[in-house]
Amino acid sequence: MTPRRSAPAKLERFCKDVLRASGADAQSADAAARAMLHASLYGVDSHGVRLLPHYDRVIRGGRVNGAPNMAFQRTSGAAGLLNADDAHGARAGYAAVDHVCDLAAEQGIGAVGIRNSSHFGAAGAYAVAITQRGMMGVVFCNSDSFVRLHDGAARFHGTNPIAVAVPTGEEHPWLLDMATSAVPYNRVQLYKSLGRELPDHTASDASGRDTRDPEDADMLAPLGGEFGFKGAGLAGMVEIFSAVLTGMRLSAEILPMPGPDFSTPREMGAFVMALDPNAFAGGEAVRDGMTRYLTALRASPARDGCTVMAPGDREWAEAARRRREGVPVDPDTAAEFDRLAEEEGIVPPFD
């Protein structure tokens, strides 16, 4: 099944138009579209524009407040809490970015816990946004249970992503953006749409046994395969920073993303931190260190037929290609876009 392609600008406009029609205010629509386009451009399709029909549904249903009245409370010199008022996760995420960067500019470090939020997509979108202010960014978020523990046979953690981004003095930052599960849940949905098998040791059936069939996948495996205790431990760390530190729901307590309840807020938490290099070795010294590190990394010998890349290198190359050739939209999502365009009288993003 062949994906359809669309220019990034057309996709962004379409996403904003659909979300405004759903009941989102301009800031929420802009933030959600920005986060989705980040993922779709950089090849993280599971967290990209394929989420638009879901976001349309949850705003209309009332799970997500399309016009939130968010409130920030500075709890100490370098820390605070953002009550997102059940906002779209991207609206809360980018607001937290602004707050942590302001705190870090003043204190050298800024950390903000997000309360009463919702699904915010690719955590890397917010870490990268922090680097655009010249800071180092760290972002965590837990999500509803879909990942078994190591040797477990039941859902326990969410995919619980970790994102870290560092300015480099180059055009792009160093970027680590990873789920603590073997793959994200939305990857299973994407592979269903594309009719593809899952990789080995990434998903399990209802009894906890490995499966490559996305139709049989009842839960995800933790990152690490036979050493999945490492992925489960990292997921627990994210759980503590995102839910325990903010007083929000643990993964097992969060309503499932796929529904059927699309009217009750999910009360999700997240954690966002910025560090100002000038408060440590200094901006110039950090950039020099990153240059030396990346030069050595990329010059490291590779195995036959392989290429050594720094975290983020694949994403920047993919973004350049997709800006030239268009962003691929899987068949199921493209059909949903056609439906939304017809129902709302919105120009679709495809030629």
Encode pLDDT of 129-151 as tens digits: 999 999 999 999 999 999 999 99
- The per-residue pLDDT for 187 is 78
Encode pLDDT of 246-299 as tens digits: 999 999 999 999 999 999 999 999 999 999 999 999 999 999 999 999 999 999
The residue segments making up the domain with residue 83 are 4-291+311-344
> Is 75 inside any structural domain?
yes
> Is 38 inside any structural domain?
yes
Over residues 222-237, the mean pLDDT reads: 94
Tell me the average pLDDT of the chain: 95
- The per-residue pLDDT for 341 is 96
Phi and psi torsions of 219, nearest 5° = -155, 165
> Is 339 inside any structural domain?
yes
Per the DSSP assignment, residues forming a β-bridge with 82 are 72, 114
> Is 301 inside any structural domain?
no
> Is 261 inside any structural domain?
yes
> Is 303 inside any structural domain?
no
Encode pLDDT of 22-77 as tens digits: 999 999 999 999 999 999 999 998 899 999 999 999 999 999 999 999 999 999 99
**pLDDT level of residue 1 (50, 70, 90 thresholds):** low
Q: What is the number of structural domains in the chain? A: 1
> Is 300 inside any structural domain?
no
Residue 135 maps to which CATH number? 3.30.1370.60
pTM tops 0.75: yes
> Is 306 inside any structural domain?
no
